[in-house]
Structure 1
Amino acid sequence: MSFSIYIYGFAIALFIFYCGNLLLHLLGITYGKIKLHKKPCLLPRESPLPSVSILKPLMGVDPNLSQNLETFFTMQYPSYELLFCIEDKEDPAVVVVQHLMDKYPKIVANLYLGGSDVGVNPKINNMNPAYENAKYELVMISDSGIRMKEDTLLDMVQHMKEGIGLVHQMPFTCDREGFAATFEKIYFGTYQSRMYLTADLFGAICHTGMSSLIRREVLDNVGGLKEFGRYLAEDFFLAKAVTEAGWKSTISSQPAWQNSGVCDVTNFQLRLTRWAKLRVAMVPHLIILEPLSECMVLGCLASWAVNVLFQWDALPFYLVHILVWFLSDWIMLSVVQNGPLPFNKFNFVVGWLFREFTGPYLFLNALFNPAIRWRERTFKLYWGGVAYELKQRIKS
């Protein structure tokens, strides 16, 4: 008798958890419709817009680098400086940056070579010299693969209202051809967007550092950018520092348009695995919650639960669950895209199924292989997110 009570209790808990995940779908879609793709206000202001220092860490050249960087030179914003950061003086990205600086001499831009050694995080090491020479009160950190619209910076700054210390963009991708590009867009427009939007709605930390704007005083009060060099997931701890200092964070209405010229499934799955390792190290309870939130896993558990609680047939429930989840993700992606998708419904079905079936595998792979490979370096994480390098970089 007591064993049956435990079974029923577990089934009730699973059913409540399942309903909560469906609610997250609804909240993500609704909040995305309200929050995203709002035109920035161009009305006259009582005070001038604050100037912005934009840090651009670069390494290597991909086919889209030049056109991505050029969008930073053509933004419609009254006052900003571009600070390009390149660790290796022989990096071919140096030539690309210098060409653009010559092409747009009216835009204030500087190139910082050599980086620094303030921790294990290569990105922080690369950016720190530029940060220490940044002139303005607002600092933007923007990865090399980001493409900007003319009003993107204006949109982000206008979200930097009183009490806000960090404005970041929800990750998404530009329209590109091929299955890998479809896979990336589906991931960022469904699973990632749902998590990002609901976290922002409830004020939780869900910050990726690929495109973010922060008040410099927040960083300076904790010792500067170099204080985050001990972490690989510097974006999470940067957002945490903002929260602990009493500031709020928010996402802007425009997503971050990733436009890398190198797009293949294997490399993207390696990124997903690396991110999973970082999440688990920083928020250990995700070891249980994250795989249980996957469509196929959650559907199996919920089907068993409703069979125990309501004597419903498990298989029809499971199939209806997949259909509802699939349609919710299609709506979510359409909201984030805010326009026609660059692929047809068949390609969406294939990409969606591939994402849903490989998601749990990638997460388990992250758990059983905790070492993190980042470019030519390998790192190990302590619980809490502090990292150390396992093997020194081999210099040619």
Structure 2
Amino acid sequence: MPTGAPLFALAVQVSLALLTLAGLAYSLIALWGARDFVHSWLRQMAAPAATPDVTILKPMKGIDPRMDAGLRSHCLQEYAGQFEILFGVTSLDDPAVVEIERLRAEFPGVDIRLVQCPERLGASGKVSNLVQMLREAKYEHVVINDSDIEVSPSYLTNVMRGFADPQVGLVTAPYIGSAALSGAGLTMWAKLEALGIATDFLPGVLTAKKLEGGISFGLGSTLATTKTAIGKIGGLEMLADDLADDYMLGYRVSLAGYKVQLCGEVVKTTVPAYDFKGFWDHQLRWARTTRDSRKLGYIGLGVTYCLPWAILTMIASGFAIWSFALLSLVLLARVSVALAVGVGVLGDRQVLRDLWLLPLRDFFGLLFWAWSFAGDTVVWRGESFRLKDGRLSRL
């Protein structure tokens, strides 16, 4: 019977192997969740669509990369109902105002309005703008998304489908992180960011949906809800100090007794040309935000990185034959999740280009998960904040 150092080495091998098996099980559940999600969306597409009149709320600050394509895509909606687009700026000196005026000239048939939002109601300037914009919204149904979100002409039609069910209080949508096609903007860190969105983030959402029988949170790419639902949660003012305002809006709507629905309409967001520091700051902010939003679920997130655990198991075992077999199974499952969700569900062709980066992406994911417990500061739009229970305070 092994004693001392050999016993410790065996314990390490067994622990790492169990973590790897847990990650493998997670991958299988993610595949199951993806299958169910696709089938559910196909059934919803076959049902009659709801087409209520809609106000689109877009808080603005400066000019984001590739913002023009995103803004224009909202003006090109093929929607049976009426819709208006409200743009909110803190100051009329904001550079975005020029872009909004240009958009109004290009699309005179679209109801576009500019709303000045001078009040600062909390740490989140975005939510402060939304509170003031909502007061000006003409319609009961509202859709909130960021300035760089690019959508298809059927976006409103597909998002609003969820409201055919009167119990639905919020509809949210998956998204692709679109990196530059080539050139200086296509950095290694931008590739890793986009790959994580397609092959790590959404599989986690689909797994949560499968295990919990639905979702109780929102994704910032699309938050479609109603004034009535917002009123029942105490107004958007309740989110003014929340870093994860999108998550918390869905969570509060769920607590108010409504269903939160994940639709199958996929939108695009822009991934900046990150350098290492930008990538680090954004990923750590994301990790700590998730840590505070889903405390229990986040603790278990560490086991989902099955590929790093399998490689560590192989090293700890002295490259035993059984560890190679385990790594082969894990690699098959991990690539299957990346292709099924990233390419199959999201239609993200970047995944095929960057598939070879999966091990590096997953090692970084495990690192950010572990490091997120080491502090409570985040960097957001160049400012440093302290994060406590999901709420921000300036340092």
TM-score, normalization by structure 2: 0.84
**Are 1:379 and 2:379 an aligned pair?**
no
Q: Distance in 1 between matches of 2:393 and 2:166?
A: 37
Q: What is residue 173 of structure 1 aligned with on the other side?
A: 177
Name the stretch that deviates more: 175-184 or 367-376.
175-184
Q: Distance in 2 between matches of 1:15 and 1:183?
A: 22
Does the C-alpha gap of structure 1 residues 189 and 12 become closer, same or farther in structure 2, counting only changes over 3 Å?
closer
The Cα offsets for residues 60-88 of structure 1, whole Å up to 9 and x where unpaired, read as 11341122111111111231111101123
Q: What is residue 206 of structure 2 aligned with on the other side?
A: 197
Q: What is residue 291 of structure 1 aligned with on the other side?
A: 302
* Contact 1:196/1:206 (<8 A) preserved: no
**Are 1:335 and 2:344 an aligned pair?**
yes
* Contact 1:299/1:318 (<8 A) preserved: yes
Q: Mark the runs of 5 or more structure 1 residues left unpaired by the alignment.
A: 391-396
Q: What is residue 274 of structure 2 aligned with on the other side?
A: 264
Q: Distance in 1 between matches of 2:197 and 2:40?
A: 16
Q: What is residue 67 of structure 2 aligned with on the other side?
A: 65
Corresponding pairs, count: 376
TM-score, normalization by structure 1: 0.83
Which of 308, 322, 343 in structure 2 is aligned with 1:313? Answer: 322
Name the stretch that deviates more: 315-324 or 123-132.
315-324
Q: Distance in 2 between matches of 1:100 and 1:37?
A: 34
**Are 1:218 and 2:214 an aligned pair?**
no
Does the C-alpha gap of structure 1 residues 337 and 204 become closer, same or farther in structure 2, counting only changes over 3 Å?
closer
The Cα offsets for residues 123-170 of structure 1, whole Å up to 9 and x where unpaired, read as 101222111221211111110110111111110001222211110011
State the secondary structure of the residue aligned to 1:134.
coil
* Contact 1:165/1:214 (<8 A) preserved: yes
Which of 359, 365, 373 in structure 2 is aligned with 1:353? Answer: 359
State the secondary structure of the residue aligned to 1:190.
helix
Question: Which amino acid is the alignment partner of residue 64 of structure 1?
Answer: R
Q: What is residue 76 of structure 2 aligned with on the other side?
A: 74
The Cα offsets for residues 213-268 of structure 1, whole Å up to 9 and x where unpaired, read as 012211112221112112111112211111111111111111121146x3335434
**Are 1:365 and 2:377 an aligned pair?**
no
* Contact 2:178/2:269 (<8 A) preserved: yes
Q: Mark the runs of 5 or more structure 2 residues left unpaired by the alignment.
A: none
State the secondary structure of the residue aligned to 1:204.
coil
The Cα offsets for residues 276-308 of structure 1, whole Å up to 9 and x where unpaired, read as 111112233355312221133442577799x8x
Does the C-alpha gap of structure 1 residues 293 and 37 become closer, same or farther in structure 2, counting only changes over 3 Å?
same
Percent identical pairs in the alignment equals: 22
State the secondary structure of the residue aligned to 1:133.
coil
Does the C-alpha gap of structure 1 residues 41 and 320 become closer, same or farther in structure 2, counting only changes over 3 Å?
closer
Name the stretch that deviates more: 200-209 or 210-219.
200-209
Q: Distance in 2 between matches of 1:112 and 1:378?
A: 28
* Contact 1:231/1:386 (<8 A) preserved: yes
**Are 1:243 and 2:254 an aligned pair?**
yes
State the secondary structure of the residue aligned to 1:147.
coil
The Cα offsets for residues 301-349 of structure 1, whole Å up to 9 and x where unpaired, read as 77799x8xxx97224322442243223322322212437x25755x421
Q: Distance in 2 between matches of 1:11 and 1:69?
A: 48
State the secondary structure of the residue aligned to 1:165.
strand
Q: Distance in 1 between matches of 2:39 and 2:191?
A: 25
Which of 91, 95, 115 in structure 1 is aligned with 2:94? Answer: 91
Question: Which amino acid is the alignment partner of residue 203 of structure 2?
Answer: R
